[in-house]
Chain A
Amino acid sequence: MKKNNLLITINQIEDIDKLKKLGVSNYAFPLKEFCVGIPNTFLISEIPKEYNSFLFMNRVLDNEGIDKLKVILNNLPSHIKGIIFDDLGILNIVKDLKIEKILYLNHFNSNVLSIKEYLKYVDSVVVSTDINKSELDFILKEIPNKLTVCVLGYLQAMYSRRLLLDNYCTYYNLKKENGLVITSNNEKFFVYENEYGTVLYHLPCYSAMHLDIPYSKYNFINSAFLNIDDITKFIKGNNPRKTDTGFLDIDLIYKLKGENND
């Protein structure tokens, strides 16, 4: 996999030098107060000035969040190259900003026409991770060199505004610790919560690092819960931990076959 189009979220500032040595040059900083499911987030003032830095925001925002973000964007330092975001309210307020805009509308953008619509407003769109490989290949071929593809990281299986872990621990009088592993139907998830909501991540970690992904603009790594040594191994082409390919090799059932649904 090419290194120069990797776009990676940063856990710790110290990791950047190691990533730079590997040929990675695009870094995304999860913005404090605007992320869910991510342990390490940053204030704008903590983001180093010498790199290609993107802001990463994956929260669904309420009005208060939008108001706060407007203040931040009005004073955006020049070293911020771009912004990666989920909420379409953000799209509406960054439309005219002269920075690179990447829409990461999680679980949406599963077809060519929708992506083309959003590309009227942003520079790149993250393709849904809920599609299979042939769907991904088709989309990339139809819209070459514009799209961002997730290639590594734990995938969100669910994002709730509720504090599910807090409720659970309160009910059972347990000490609250993020990372609770839950299992059902042979599927495993872990629970991570902050004041803005709860995320259930699927286990094991998703990886498409071994795949040939032509035509993408960026290949995106969400490094949350991965350490720099493992990330380094992944980038070098090794696989240091158990992974799966998400839904790339699965044909999800759209409709059950039945008398009303044939």
Chain B
Amino acid sequence: MIELLSPAGDLERLKIALLYGADAVYIGGVNYSLRANAKNFSNEEIKEAVLFAHSINKKVYVAVNIVFHDENLNGLDDYLKTLKEYAVDAVIVSDIVAVTKAIKYGLKVMLSTQASPLNYEAIKFWQSLGVDRFVLGREATREDIIRIKNETNASIECFIHGAMCTSISGKCVLSNYCTKRDSNRGGCAQICRWVFDTENEPFTMMSKDLNMVEYIEDMINIGVNSFKVEGRMRSIYYIATVIMCYRQIIDNITNHTLTLEKKNYYKLVLDRVANRDSIPQFYNKFPGVNESYFQDRMEVSNQDFLGIVLDYDKENKLVILEQRNYFQIGDVVEFIGPNMEPITYNVSTILDLDNEKIEVARHPKMVVKLPLNIDLPKYAMMRLKVFDKNSDL
């Protein structure tokens, strides 16, 4: 089975990722994951996450991938036992102590990219300990993946979308020096995106983001088992959009309906939702000067995400929508959602909660009603219509 694996920073993101097409999500608990300062999941939330995912035949993997200091080992055994009790589908680890303990407690173990395995002998070493799956280092080339697959027959997971570390993962302590936060215990402050002074031009080393749309079919053909999207800190709109695109790409490949036009459409949508350039990175060539940013962060944000559907009033045929960005009468928007094609919609009427007509939805998180004859599911989203999928097809 080809797995689409999504990040989820909290329960809402988790539900959206799974509903929009992810086969599995990876999350972090309050302790031991490499996003120490994200909201993360309490134990109770992990339990709820697993119950939700399993109820729709999907999976939850929990990152336990810090580099442990002795003081961090207190509580690790209890935590792993709890994860086993909750029936999480696997833990993602990088430190050998977490590997051996997780296996001892009967958990399925995935090796984190933090361990940066890039050769078949490293994979064989971890296989000998009982590791089930391997998130390859992001520097792995197409040929590296093929050789590793051939030599080990391991289950391979590769990143396909999102931000890249400039460093080999796990080999960077710039945050330790510059902010005194421990990067290998979740404190990465993205120092590789800073601008450094020199006696000459300012020094930067920012990598552009990763985007593998062009190579998904090839990756499937060479035996990659799981396609991982980066970004546990990303917004619900980003996750919904990226997961929906890759879900459709994978499904189109599987049923032989992926056309060049569709691929181009997905690329446009993905480029629009990210605020940085994205490229294939190491897979097809060695990234050089054109694969990096210089001078400063070149990020362009937009306000495409207009609202999230809370409910649908069947009796009155009204979409109940929570506003996320300004929109007004006359805007041409589209609804996207789980298992549905985008629906183009001209905003001609906006009602407030008292059913009074208003011209503009201007306040963040205000709830409005929009007339629509289609029963939209909860978690469907409204966005500015920028690209026309159908006209491009």
Contact = CB atoms under 8 A, between A and B. Distances in A.
Contacts of B67: 107-108, 110, 128, 130
Interface stretch (B251-259, B288-296, B351-359): B288-296
Contact of B199 (A63, A159, A181): A181
Interface string B66-82: 01111111000000000
A168 to B, nearest CB: 6
Contact of A183 (B36, B179, B196, B201): B196
B203 A254 contact: no
A258 B123 CA distance: 38
B198 A130 contact: no
B192 A158 contact: yes
Contacts of B197: 182-184
B8 to A, nearest CB: 15
B180 A260 contact: no
Contact of B97 (A107, A117, A189, A247): A117
Interface residues of B, number: 79
Interface string B275-289: 000000010000111
B182 A252 contact: yes
A101 interface: no
B181 A252 contact: yes
Interface residues of A, number: 67
A158 B173 contact: yes
Contacts of A187: 177-178
A68 to B, nearest CB: 11
B187 interface: yes
Interface string B105-134: 000000000011111111111101000000
B36 A170 contact: no
A164 interface: yes
A157 B70 contact: no
B198 A62 contact: no
A128 B170 CA distance: 12
A89 interface: yes
B126 A88 contact: yes
Contact of A63 (B69, B95, B120, B198): B120
A91 interface: yes
Contact of B177 (A87, A157, A170, A181): A157
B37 A255 contact: yes
B324 interface: no
A60 interface: yes
From DSSP, what is the main secondary structure of chain A's interface residues? Answer: mixed
Nearest to A94: B121
Contact of B121 (A66, A108, A157, A250): A66
A24 interface: no
Interface string A225-262: 00000000000000000000001001011111010110
B70 A247 contact: no
7 contacts: A60-B139, A63-B118, A106-B171, A130-B184, A157-B176, A160-B205, A189-B174
Given A88-B121, A107-B171, 11 more contacts: A60-B118, A60-B139, A90-B121, A110-B68, A111-B70, A182-B196, A184-B195, A189-B196, A252-B182, A252-B185, A260-B40
Closest 10 CB pairs of A and B: A89-B121, A89-B122, A182-B196, A92-B125, A159-B171, A252-B182, A114-B97, A89-B119, A92-B121, A161-B139
Interface of B: 30, 36-40, 67-73, 94-97, 100, 115-126, 128, 137, 139-141, 143-144, 147-148, 151, 166-168, 170-174, 176-182, 184-187, 191-192, 194-201, 203-205, 207, 282, 287-289, 292, 294
